[in-house]
Amino acid sequence: MSAIKHRVKRLTSQLEEVAQRGMDRHIRLGVTGISGAGKTAFITALVNQLLQAESHQLPAWQVMAQSRYLGGRIAPQPDLTLQPFDYNGAIACLRQAQPLWPPSTRTISEIRLALRYMPDKGLAGQIGRPVTLYLDIIDYPGEWLLDLPLMQQEYEQWCDQIWPQLQLPAWRELTEAWCARASSLSSEATESDIAELAQEYASLLLLLKQQRGASLLQPGRALLPGELAGAPVLEWFPLPPAKLNSLGEESSLRQTLVSRYQAYRDQVVTPFFRDYFARLDRQVVLVDCLSALNQGRDQVEQLAQTLQALSHSFRYGPGSVVTRLFRPKIDRVLFAATKADHLTVDQHHNLLQLMHSLMKSSRRQPRYFGTQMETLVLSAINATRQGQVERDGRTVSVISGTDLSGTKSVRFPGEVPAALPGNGFWQQQGFCFQPFSPPRWDGQDALPHMRLDYALQFLIGDKMR
């Protein structure tokens, strides 16, 4: 009897969702970015603003500025197979005596908000009755999104693409030993040999990410395995194209790697696209340009390639009743440069220009398919305060905050280039943008931020008229 009740309840929930989508009162918003870009902080801050909305903190969000927003609440999660986004846990981290940043995204999670407002258009606006917009926020690792091109590739094509990257001069010091082991692997390698080298490959990818700031790394689940940790479906890696071509079709090594690649593509990547990613209506991509600048020119160039790969993975197109119900397409996408509070305000324009230059080739596809695209510089949670000091008879803009060691500091973080500097610049100097701890916060007011109201207006403002 309980099973029947569960099915009836689930069917009722699905019918309600169909009705809301048909009336354009339901949005599925995806939030992604390479780990370290601040996804958890962004979602926590976004939810916090919607729950504790204050007009003076969200002046650019029109429904708030017009006093039509009535409030929001966390609603029951629609997809019970997904891990719930731990909003309360993130808030607890931020409210500690020594506040901590919430843990990074490790798998897919979801949170649903019911946002109540007074419409000013349409029949509901004429009647004067409040309306509820349901906002589902889906948090997923950007590393997983970078796997979507595998759906169109065979193992041999993937090796042709990945192996040259492992030979990049900036990576060679870290990759040389592993590449030598992969090149000398026996054509009749055992299961344990393959598993050991696969684990070393996963460790290598993590090292490239941490020490070289690499972002375009595959397979993404090698970095963030989630529930697949230790599963054979992750025990594969690239071979040198020359070695792969020399292996016969009967080689056990070739057969094992090809079959596991195909299993990963068909049983992991394809279901992720079908069940979660392809159902999104709108998308946020968070970008940490400052960390890439710290690492050097190669890493900034790879960030541009990563943005292009992410951009080409989305299913773009204008929204309509039919597409919302049967084949959702992303009709708005926001690319946001995060950690704006780590800079003085006068450098925000340069950071925006840098984002535009990095995304030059990424903007064409969404524009072609009629998707609206916006680029913002923002800080989901302000960790610093802006200020000025006198130095050598002139006024200098600075930021003040608490560093990760707990020490209060005042810094001039430096200038951000409006475009990627030439090779000569990197040989003479570089960048050193330092992280900060979260601000002390008692939870009574909404979290301090920069430009989240502009993000809200772009992402959901048109649905709350």
Specify the DSSP class assigned to residue 229: T
State yes or no: cis peptide before 119, omega within 30 of 0. no
Element (H, E) at 254: helix 252-264
pLDDT of residue 320: 58
Specify the DSSP class assigned to residue 440: P
Cβ neighbours of 76 (radius 10 Å): 9
**Is the full-model pTM beyond 0.85?**
yes
CB 76 within 8 A of CB 112: yes
d(CA 68, CA 66): 5
Q: Which residues does the chain have with pLDDT short of 50?
A: 1, 3, 6, 8-22, 322, 324-326
d(CA 159, CA 157): 5
d(CA 311, CA 287): 12
Residue positions counted in the chain: 465
pLDDT of residue 446: 95
